[in-house]
Chain A
Amino acid sequence: MRELICITCPKGCHLKVDEENDYKVTGNGCPRGAIYGKKECTHPTRVVTSTVKIVGAEIERLSVKTNGDIPKEKIFDVMKELNRVVVKAPVHREDVIVSDICGTGVDLVATKDL
């Protein structure tokens, strides 16, 4: 039995995951907690939020995020990849900045209009 705190929403439910029993989750307040509990024990993932360089805008950094979960162990690979990116204004929210970042199958998107 593994005890976790659900990070899906600010509620932070205290989950119990039964690793012996197909990762059955208890203590979750909603179905997303069950999904999180299992995933955290099998292949943990995170959304990465950060910035990239932008030119031609009022400010010099554009906020971005991975448009979905990426494997936790790839976080620093993604951060390294971001160092290489320079975008030109104008950029709109949801524009894809890097597609399939680090082979995760997930796109890096802008989170702001600049």
Chain B
Amino acid sequence: MYDCIIIGAGISGCSLAFELSKYSGKVLWLEKNNDVADETTKANSAIIHAGYDPEPNTLMAKYNIWGNKIIPSLCKDLDVPCKNIGSLVVGFSEEDDRTIEMLYKRGVQNGVENQRIIKQPELSVMEPNLNSDCTSALYAPSACIINPWQFAIALSEVAIQNGVELRLNEEVTSIKKDGDIFIVNDTYKAPLVVNCAGVMCDHVTGLIKKPDYKITPNKGEYYLLDKSQGNMVHHVIFQCPTKIGKGVLVAPTVDGNLIVGPTSTNTDADDYSTTSAGLKIIRENAVKSVPNMKLQENIRTFAGLRARSDTKDFIIGEDKDIHNFFLIAGMASPGLSSASAIALDIVRMMQEKDYFLNLKKNYVSTRKVVRFKEMSHEQRKEYIEKHPEYGRIICRCETISEGEILDAIRRSPKPVSLDGIKRRCNAGMGRCQSGFCGPRVQEILANELGVSQLDIVLDKNGSYILCGRTKENGDE
């Protein structure tokens, strides 16, 4: 018997698990994939938005503003890369100027602080590589860039340290109710269930009632450019939304790359493919903002899914029909920016029902990871003398040591895939895209997990890398 079952380990589930873990109470956490942060959380624009975009008086507006205020310090506590660089919505025409004016007013209504409208020549001073045809921009200094999957992983690691029980590879296929108690997958019992199943939220709600909302997975495709392009811009650069589309953004990432995208197309819940049409749209639109950008310096294209609800807003709180069945659903943009605030609010709602009232005496709320790259020469010398495994560099593009990889594997939740390692310590994130370090990481992972290298997957279950050994047919 548990006190609460959380379904889904994306940013919503991770944020909630983290908050609940501070309180006395048994929390079970179910995730269908072999790792946390393996769907929408790993493939998005990696931005903590300022909050001028959502319509006033929506949940999106409320939680975005709130989340934006708390995430930077949370990241500091958890040693997660997050940089407050600010954003610019740039305009090229009178129509755009009107949009910028409207967004500014919305920002004021939503409570965005310190935003202002910027004109030339100040704009060109702030962003020398910006198209000089840009006439004005809405500057929101509170926007941040973040490493979203490391954020989620850090939250999950602390949650687990505090006693949350995470079960990976556990897809929720049935939810029943016996009196006041939910029974999930015919096995797990708890009086509270929280559905944070991302693009599958409506499906999970459908296990216990006819869902009153529909999630449409909406795909966004991206380019990720090499660090040679990382200094192209210094803020998150949005284009003005027009009748034709939302435009594409160009932004530095916390790792020093340049992210360009996204597109927007409705699709299926498991479609993470990029398309030539989508990539073309990005190429054509991106150069409107930053003409000098070298798209040939691309190191990866990828696609992520937005969990868009037909209610056009987040769906947060207790289901109106099912008592004690909570929802964190419809977490399309600004979902990442809002998840931390939503988690706090859900805990408050549970406390109103007399659950999770007592803070643990010695809960953990911070985390620290070793990053070879960030040390000075002297620190490296000293650290390697004590811990030689940090002297062996495995990923040369990102300068990631064996020690960091071992450290990632030895923490919980334990990564079991190459991408799991990549998400935790950046090995394979660089320009060679793991061509060099992939086999080495695979070997380390196999050794640590005590399995054959043949058993190591690239990412999700089934994504095996190798098909067998050479010279193994001798006895046939």
Q: So, do A and B actually touch in the complex, CB under 8 Å?
A: yes
Q: Which residues of A contact B475 (CB under 8 A)?
A: 84
Q: Kindly identify, within residues 66 to 93 of chain A, every residue whose CB is under 8 Å from any CB belonging to chain B.
A: 82-85
Asked if A14 is an interface residue, CB under 8 A from chain B, the answer is no
Q: How far is the CB of B468 from chain A (nearest CB, A)?
A: 13
Specify which chain A residues have a CB less than 8 angstroms from the CB of B472 in the assembled complex: 83
Size bracket, chain A contacts: under 10
In the assembled complex, how far is the CB of residue B163 from the closest CB belonging to chain A, in whole angstroms?
43
**What separation, in Å, do the CA atoms of A71 and B472 have in the docked complex?**
25
Query: Which residues in B have their C-beta under 8 angstroms from that of A53?
Result: 471
B470 close to A (CB within 8 Å) = yes
Q: Is the CB of A61 within 8 A of B470?
A: yes
Query: Which of chain A's residues have a CB closer than 8 A to the CB of B471?
Result: 51-53, 61, 82-83, 85
- Of B471, B473, B474, chain A has the most CB atoms within 10 Å of the CB of B471
Residues of chain B in range 205-254 having any CB-CB distance to chain A below 8 Å: none
Residue in A51, A61, A83 whose CB lies within 8 Å of B474: A83
Q: How far is the CA of A51 from the CA of B470 in the complex (A)?
A: 9
Task: List A contacts of B473 (CB < 8 A).
Answer: 83
Nearest to B473 among chain A residues (CB) is A83
How many Å lie between the Cα of A51 and that of B472 in the bound state? 12
Interface string of A25-53 (1 = CB under 8 A from B): 00000000000000000000000000111
Q: Inter-chain contact count A-B, CB under 8 Å?
A: 15
A4 to chain B, nearest CB (A): 31
Cα–Cα, bound, A83→B473 (Å): 6
The dominant DSSP class at the B interface is loop
Do A84 and B470 touch across chains, with their CB atoms under 8 A apart? no
Inter-chain contacts of A84 with B (CB < 8 A): 474-475
Residues 454-476 of B at the A interface (beta carbon under 8 Å): 470-475
Taking the closest CB of chain B, its distance from the CB of A87, in whole angstroms, is 11
Q: State which residues 426-476 of B face A: CB under 8 Å.
A: 470-475
**Bound Cα distance A84, B475 (Å):** 7
Q: How far is the CA of A84 from the CA of B474 in the complex (A)?
A: 5
How long is the Cα–Cα vector from A83 to B471 in the complex, in angstroms? 5
Closest to B472 in A: A83
Residues of B within 8 Å of A51, CB to CB, are: 470-471
Least distance between A79 CB and chain B CB atoms (Å): 9
Q: In the complex, which of the residues B470, B473, B475 has the most CB atoms of chain A within 10 Å of its own CB atom?
A: B470
Nearest A residue to B474, CB-CB? A83
Q: Name the B residues within 8 Å of A52 (CB-CB).
A: 471
**How many angstroms from the CA of A83 to the CA of B472 in the assembled complex?**
7
Provide the residues of chain B in CB contact with A85, threshold 8 Å. Answer: 471, 474
Minimum Cβ distance to chain A for residue B473 (Å) = 5
Name the distance in Å between B469's Cβ and chain A's nearest Cβ. 8
Q: Which of A61, A83, A84 has the most CB of B within 10 A?
A: A83
Q: How far is the CA of A82 from the CA of B475 in the complex (A)?
A: 11
- Nearest chain B CB to A63's CB is how many angstroms away? 12
Expressed in whole angstroms, the Cα–Cα distance for A51 and B471 within the complex equals 8
Residues of B within 8 A of A82 (CB): 471
Q: Could you tell me the distance between the alpha carbons of A84 and B472 in the complex, rounded to whole angstroms? A: 9
Determine the residue in chain B with the shortest Cβ distance to A52.
B471
CB distance from A32 to the nearest CB of B (A): 32
A98 to chain B, nearest CB (A): 13
Chain A nearest CB: distance from B472 CB in Å?
A: 7
Closest CB in chain A relative to B321 CB, distance in Å: 60
**Which residues on B sit within 8 Å (CB–CB) of A61?**
470-471
Say how far A62's CB is from chain B's closest CB, in angstroms: 10
Give bound CA distance, A82 to B470, whole Å: 10
Which A residue's beta carbon lies closest to that of B476? A83
Q: Give every chain B residue within 8 A of A83 (Cβ-Cβ).
A: 471-474
CB-based nearest B residue for A53: B471
Q: Separation in Å of the A41 CB from the closest CB of chain B?
A: 33
Give complex CA distance A75, B163 in Å. Answer: 61
Measured between alpha carbons, how far is A85 from B471 in the docked complex, in Å? 9
Task: For A60, give the chain B residue with the smallest CB separation.
Answer: B469
| Least CB distance, A42 to chain B, in whole angstroms | 33
Nearest opposing residue in chain B for A82, CB measure: B471
In whole angstroms, what is the CA distance A61 to B469 when docked? 10
Nearest chain B CB to A76 CB, angstrom units: 12
Q: How far is the CB of A65 from chain B (nearest CB, A)?
A: 15
Nearest CB of A to B69, in Å: 54
Bound Cα distance from A23 to B330, whole angstroms: 77
* B474 CB contacts on chain A under 8 angstroms: 83-85
Q: What separation, in Å, do the CA atoms of A53 and B474 have in the docked complex?
A: 11
Write out, one digit per residue, whether chain B residues 187-214 have a CB within 8 A of any chain A CB (1) or not (0).
Answer: 0000000000000000000000000000
Closest chain B CB from A16 CB (angstroms): 39
Q: How far is the CB of A33 from chain B (nearest CB, A)?
A: 34
A–B complex contacts, Cβ < 8 Å, 8 sampled = A51-B471, A53-B471, A61-B470, A61-B471, A83-B472, A83-B474, A84-B474, A84-B475
The 4 closest A-B pairs by CB, nearest first: A83-B474, A84-B474, A83-B471, A83-B473
Given contacts A51-B471, A84-B475, list 13 more A-B pairs with CB under 8 A. A51-B470, A52-B471, A53-B471, A61-B470, A61-B471, A82-B471, A83-B471, A83-B472, A83-B473, A83-B474, A84-B474, A85-B471, A85-B474
